[in-house]
Amino acid sequence: MASKLVLNRLRSLSRVSELSDVRFDKLREPISIFSTSQNHVTWRSYSEASQPTPINPPPPPPSPNTSTTTSSSLNEFELAKFSIIAETWWDAEGPFKPLHLMNPTRLAFIRSTLCRHFRKDPNCTRPFEGLKFVDVGCGGGILSEPLARMGATVTGVDAVDKNIKIARLHADLDPQTSSIEYRCTTAGTCHTCLMIIKSKY
């Protein structure tokens, strides 16, 4: 449906611009219009357009002769990226602005879902009293802190040491969140994480 609309729109543009030499019925991929002057229009398919160069190119893949005994889901490039911007976790206008904007919505979802599941009163100030949470990939603690304020015992886990330091510093500013235990480790190697999960199931 959308492709027919695009083709019809392009056909009407060709009549107006007198570009009768373009055969729209033969187009098989999306096209874009690039104006280079007032009276000249150039047609070029998206696949021919130059691709944007990434700001931070991905790291090279490991060489095949390198032997590793353990497999890890950690991406060193991602770890370095988050380490660079770690100081901005609590800047509501910084790189984590989208996370700050969605946090109230995800907290409302978590609160309503868990209160329903554990038969807790969603209207009380500390509905998660007695519950244990493991926030894997906690970053600067944007989710961990509100959970602790709602009464939960929270363990925040992140693979980036700078994130954990920022999270600890920020949590220590509020007596309700200073009890959060932050660990610089991965979920797979976190003994506390495994023990909390085992005690629940």
Whether 184 and 158 have beta carbons less than 8 Å apart is answered as yes
Residue 198 pLDDT: 61
Residue 199 pLDDT: 60
Residue 75 pLDDT: 83
How far apart CA 77 and CA 20 sit, in angstroms, is 50
Residue 71 pLDDT: 56
Residue 195 pLDDT: 65
Whether 42 and 34 have beta carbons less than 8 Å apart is answered as yes
Residue 46 pLDDT: 44
Q: Which of 196, 190, 119, 116 is nearest to 157 (CA)?
A: 190
Opening angle at CA 178, ends 157 and 148, nearest 5:
70
**Whole-prediction pTM value?**
0.61
Residue 83 pLDDT: 87
Residue 186 pLDDT: 81
How far apart CA 85 and CA 94 sit, in angstroms, is 9
For the chain, 201 residues long, give each residue's pLDDT as a single digit of tens: 545 554 455 455 444 444 344 444 444 444 444 444 444 444 444 444 444 544 555 555 555 444 444 456 778 888 888 889 999 999 999 999 999 999 999 999 999 999 999 999 999 999 999 999 999 999 999 999 999 999 999 999 999 999 999 999 999 999 999 999 999 988 777 665 666 556 654
Domain residue limits, the chain: 2-48, 76-200
CATH number attached to the domain at 76-200: 3.40.50.150
Residue 76 pLDDT: 86
